[in-house]
Structure 1
């Protein structure tokens, strides 16, 4: 499973941040990685220089083998919280999708 991380201009996309995001996603989706070819992550700050609740946004797009991409988004106060929330939503969505496929067989 390849994880690609991009950030909005208002967020410092340092190597440390990228590594942290990849680690969070890898941890959450480790049991599903055999089905995933790629995860695209985009992190942005809705309010840019202003602070406010739930202004960090994390969008994940998962590419499954032979399937349409699945996209989820989560917002939170910090990048870490938004990433964890989006990864949890992605895990649920992928489990539902893969469960439906196995039910058809």
Structure 2
């Protein structure tokens, strides 16, 4: 039986943290210098969830069910953050967002608005 590293035990209580040697090997094999640079910058400035796995890669664009990384690789996204029912960049969703942003892009606290209620 393998012994756990005492430094990593607190990460194993819950969450989906993956900071294993396998993860490091995958990153070294699959990410180029540009992607590693942007991931390091992201880790420096973005406040991540305490038990969340570090970002896998850097996206350049998304459309329908596919994502494209900064190395130009197209991947099918199976993650499932509710965008998959309509796809990334769905024209009707994009137009609805633009229309709402033009009309009322922010609603201050203590008020509501019809668009928020009817959603």
Q: Shared fold by TM > 0.5?
A: no
Between Structure 1 and Structure 2, whose CA radius of gyration is higher?
Answer: 2
Q: Give the TM-score taking structure 1 as reference length.
A: 0.25
User: Normalized per residue, which structure has more helix?
Assistant: 1
**Higher RCO structure, 1 or 2 (CA under 8 Å, sep 6+):** 1
Q: Give the TM-score taking structure 2 as reference length.
A: 0.23
